[in-house]
Structure 1
């Protein structure tokens, strides 16, 4: 707009001191009082660095992100104030000061690492170049050792099923409670004569609350409890949030931040799906908002479909949202002290900031139910030598309640979807890229790794069986290789059943091919014509002869095939080399004793000679 000038991000208080203002992409605002920090000589630089960091072209675009940037500046100034002598201005800063901050003992390794990264980012803006001494900036700019982190996986299938069932059961009770309260209000207006005196008194109280949004005071010392009980007939309360939000996270497969910021605005598509705009943070500026389309499903399945559960949430919060005036889907009634009651008790808990309710108590809800949500017992300890479970006393393991976080719920939901889609990451990626899905959600999850190992083991077993079937089919047409493990001399070979001239030629090596020997190269068992097959096909042919002298070559071939397997895709390797590999391992080597094979393995093995069956330029 012509003539428009954006307000300055840094302003000075009337009483003195600099303030940095923030306006986030989520329309949340904050002001950071740099003048209230220690080390006044640093305030101008810190105000500029913070403004550049949290401004329109900076990194954090959310209020929560800017709070971290502000926290680090507070830590930095408090640390500088403890030094003797303290670096009163940025020009007084030395490398030793930065080194001492990065190794301070009052913070964990991960906190020190993140603080150093934040300060390096703030002070490293090119518009602040030269404001710090070169040696001090070099200390910020050095490579930082990445702290070790323990990956957090998801829940096992049993834990996820128990958590889902508990959240669904408690949500169903919430729905029945509020619908019963609404029905009582309707009865009071339509036909109060049908109500008993006790029900009539409650209905009259609820009708007044429904009209005004105000829960009247109750006499006695249990007033807060009784007011909450009365309000819960029509509104959600704090105690309803854990199961409801857990079920939303499970059914929609979205993270906790997205669930907290679900909007009330939506569009119904042909009574089949609901369309709404959801928030997916940490995607970078201009990429926060995403249009989601969720199936509604039949009414009896409202607690099982994302669209059905979302519309149910709007139904449960409709009255409270009308009094709070919020555009958020989540709105509830909270019990306020006297003097601050009325419609102010209706509010959207996450409209101002996402951390408004740090004590949401997901794990406390799981432990406090009449039927707690239990974690799986710890796995049996295994003997490192035998890889078997150790015998333990028969004392029963103590059941523990499940620790619940939105991160673990999201990990479990992503792992479940990936399994259902057969492990295909591009199809499994929903609210993240395939790379983020694997790195942050699937890789740390032990249950997913176990599943993947099972799938891989089954796939390898299927591939090996297919290769064996191909070998058996070829042998059925061409005959089975002749393996003579205990004969080397012509007489021994003749005694084993070979013709005299074949025994002599085999013993002298005249019949040798790449890894075995061929009894009659001029007459193929199937065609009767000279053989033109690859040497790899010898292992499925009745003309193939194998003695103890061929063992080194066969073992060398297996080593070469093993090396190729690491450089090729599994599908291509099994198709190209699988039948020969299986024939050697399961059919030919099985005719020799393990001691014979092991003895040969201890000696240097010859080259695999794979260039005899593949053109060198075609080898992977």
Structure 2
């Protein structure tokens, strides 16, 4: 372990102390002309300086400098360079807006609620920009020392609830699109590997025995040997297409810009990590028994001291290195080994660039994401997918539905029907692989969450994905159908043992009931309500169909019993029961509800109500329904 960086201290290894006379730098330093400068030093060692003196409204400069320091300073919440740029942009927008207002608040004490409201409603910015600027300025001013310098009504305007503008959901790819993208990325990465390994083999042959190199490749072998020894790609003075030929020559041994798109797309697909994490993959790693590779990756926006995560990736067999995350990571280190050694970066992504503006020789090797993650803006994955020999195509759009007999306008152009190249982004890849993993794990979010929490996984990756929503709806529909079928099977089994309830939908008087097949005494008692229970009637309570003894079952079991009698008079109570069960379903889990009430609910819906006409059921529903009487089957304190 070195004496620098993480893990350099411990028992018996005290931390380094500054030399005598050391003075910590001022949190806000003064620049030329007395301007105030706030410095940033991120957790990833990226640095930046922001000169508040460049902004208008000099009377605000001390407060703005302190506010920016609270956000991006050593104790601030912003720990990334990209985050500081957002804070600085919002601060600049605030100062420039105040400079244009009338009356202008030259000092913070002159700020009013009207100024803050006008900043929030300004017409020269989109709703999302206005929302983010207001939120950022509130966070910058929320320190008690700073907000105390603002008038109370102005701070209240900042501190109000801000409705977040709706944004377009970014979904993932369909199964076909994801398969085509994966196949294309894997095929192009395989070509990159074959190309560089062929170049390395040519260098090896030239070093061991130049005579064994084929005659027509000896000149290339000699050139590549010089490039391998010096790291410099020779200039092709007499070539008309200089830059392209140099890039082709360098690509025999080094990764180039055009290799990043398929390689990073495949990394995102196989490792299931976002683009920021992939850009900062380190070279430092540990191989565990030739089966897995262990490394520390960066997961940003997790708060202080939560950036770093140790991951273990499977290596797999050599012939499967393009299919496993560990194998692909080690392959990346192999492809970038020469450039990484030359530029000395600790990041895995190192490549050769065609030198411009004085960049030449060994300086053409660099780590594109070492200073700024956005420095790799030339990772044109959509362009790669569209321009490769076999383009990666999106699914055709669904056929547009036209109204019947709607005439087409003469000058109306037909909608494009040709194949459309697939738009490839890290966000869509991450959404797709997260959705795929969630489906493979049966939709269990705690198990599916990998690099995010379950809540973040659902909100940011699964919910916006239309294919995932459709899959979820199918799963829920199938699960409900299975639960209903299980309840119906339980009802049918009980009916097979106890007999089927007797439903008489068209009889009310004793004579009508007797004509329906009941005995005279039973018909009379049923018409008088003497046999009524909670929701139906019981023909013989003293003799259970299975045991022959007095019945002690719950009233919910009456619907599976041959002694059960149902007439028109019972219909209002049955409808009230169904409504009460529907309310309970919203208050308890589906599993518990189906176990507890499912068989009775299915018996009433599918076996009893089906024997009444829909018109009569609708007529009864239009009248006030009685109490559901659920307290007869459960104690009130046991109800959910």
**TM-score under structure 2 normalisation?**
0.92
Partner residue of 1:592 out of 612, 628, 635: 612
Question: Partners in 1 of 2:83 and 2:416 — Cα distance?
Answer: 46
Q: Which residue of 1 aligns with 2:440?
A: 420
Q: 1:495 to 1:417 in 2, by over 3 A?
A: same
Q: Does 1:161 align with 2:172?
A: no
Q: Which residue of 2 aligns with 1:554?
A: 574
Q: Which moved more, 1:426-435 or 1:332-341?
A: 332-341
Q: Which residue of 2 aligns with 1:361?
A: 380
Q: Which residue of 2 aligns with 1:175?
A: 193
Partner residue of 2:215 out of 186, 197, 211: 197
Contact 2:247 2:354 in 1 (8 A): yes
Q: Which residue of 1 aligns with 2:333?
A: 314
Question: Partners in 1 of 2:229 and 2:630 — Cα distance?
Answer: 86
Partner residue of 2:389 out of 365, 370, 382: 370
CA-atom RMSD in angstroms: 2.0
Partner residue of 2:162 out of 144, 148, 160: 144
Question: Partners in 2 of 1:304 and 1:542 — Cα distance?
Answer: 62
Q: Which residue of 2 aligns with 1:222?
A: 241
Q: Does 1:519 align with 2:539?
A: yes
Q: Which residue of 2 aligns with 1:71?
A: 89
Q: Which residue of 2 aligns with 1:304?
A: 323
Q: Deviations over 1:289-321 (max 9, x none)?
A: 000000111111111111111111111111111
Q: Does 1:447 align with 2:473?
A: no
Question: Partners in 1 of 2:342 and 2:192 — Cα distance?
Answer: 20
Alpha-carbon distance, 1:231 to partner:
0.5
Question: Partners in 2 of 1:166 and 1:410 — Cα distance?
Answer: 17
Q: Does 1:601 align with 2:621?
A: yes
Q: Secondary structure at the match of 1:355?
A: helix
Question: Partners in 2 of 1:44 and 1:255 — Cα distance?
Answer: 39
Partner residue of 1:118 out of 129, 136, 141: 136
Contact 1:9 1:22 in 2 (8 A): no
Q: Deviations over 1:447-469 (max 9, x none)?
A: 11111111111111111111111
Alpha-carbon distance, 1:165 to partner:
1.4
Q: 1:604 to 1:340 in 2, by over 3 A?
A: same
Question: Partners in 1 of 2:85 and 2:35 — Cα distance?
Answer: 19
Q: Secondary structure at the match of 1:337?
A: coil
Q: Secondary structure at the match of 1:185?
A: helix
Contact 1:349 1:356 in 2 (8 A): yes
Question: Partners in 1 of 2:182 and 2:215 — Cα distance?
Answer: 40
Alpha-carbon distance, 1:18 to partner:
2.0
Alpha-carbon distance, 1:382 to partner:
6.2
Alpha-carbon distance, 1:180 to partner:
1.1
Q: Secondary structure at the match of 1:566?
A: helix
Q: Deviations over 1:170-225 (max 9, x none)?
A: 11111111111111111111232232332111111111111111000012221100
- The correspondence of residues 436-585 of structure 1 with structure 2, limited to 5 A, is 436-585=456-605
Contact 1:168 1:303 in 2 (8 A): yes
Q: 1:547 to 1:85 in 2, by over 3 A?
A: closer
Question: Partners in 2 of 1:482 and 1:142 — Cα distance?
Answer: 64
Q: 1:476 to 1:121 in 2, by over 3 A?
A: same
Q: Which moved more, 1:259-268 or 1:551-560?
A: 551-560
Alpha-carbon distance, 1:492 to partner:
2.2
Q: Secondary structure at the match of 1:21?
A: strand
Question: Partners in 2 of 1:339 and 1:513 — Cα distance?
Answer: 96
Contact 1:227 1:335 in 2 (8 A): yes
Q: Secondary structure at the match of 1:294?
A: strand
Q: 1:488 to 1:383 in 2, by over 3 A?
A: farther
Alpha-carbon distance, 1:338 to partner:
6.7
Q: 1:574 to 1:114 in 2, by over 3 A?
A: same
Contact 2:147 2:155 in 1 (8 A): no
Question: Partners in 2 of 1:234 and 1:355 — Cα distance?
Answer: 25
Q: Deviations over 1:38-78 (max 9, x none)?
A: 23332222222212221111110111111111112222222
Q: Does 1:62 align with 2:80?
A: yes
Alpha-carbon distance, 1:415 to partner:
1.2
**TM-score under structure 1 normalisation?**
0.95
Q: 1:508 to 1:96 in 2, by over 3 A?
A: closer
Structure 2, unmatched stretches of 5+, are 1-16, 405-412
Question: Partners in 2 of 1:435 and 1:567 — Cα distance?
Answer: 22
Q: Secondary structure at the match of 2:191?
A: helix
Question: Partners in 2 of 1:590 and 1:184 — Cα distance?
Answer: 82
Question: Partners in 2 of 1:133 and 1:330 — Cα distance?
Answer: 51
Q: 1:394 to 1:226 in 2, by over 3 A?
A: closer
Q: Secondary structure at the match of 2:376?
A: coil
Q: Which residue of 2 aligns with 1:94?
A: 112
Structure 1, unmatched stretches of 5+, are 386-392
Alpha-carbon distance, 1:26 to partner:
0.7
- The correspondence of residues 253-268 of structure 1 with structure 2, limited to 5 A, is 253-268=272-287
Question: Partners in 2 of 1:260 and 1:5 — Cα distance?
Answer: 36
Q: 1:527 to 1:55 in 2, by over 3 A?
A: same
Q: Deviations over 1:268-288 (max 9, x none)?
A: 000010000000011100110
Q: Deviations over 1:329-349 (max 9, x none)?
A: 001110012742111110110
Q: Which residue of 1 aligns with 2:449?
A: 429
Question: Partners in 2 of 1:180 and 1:351 — Cα distance?
Answer: 29
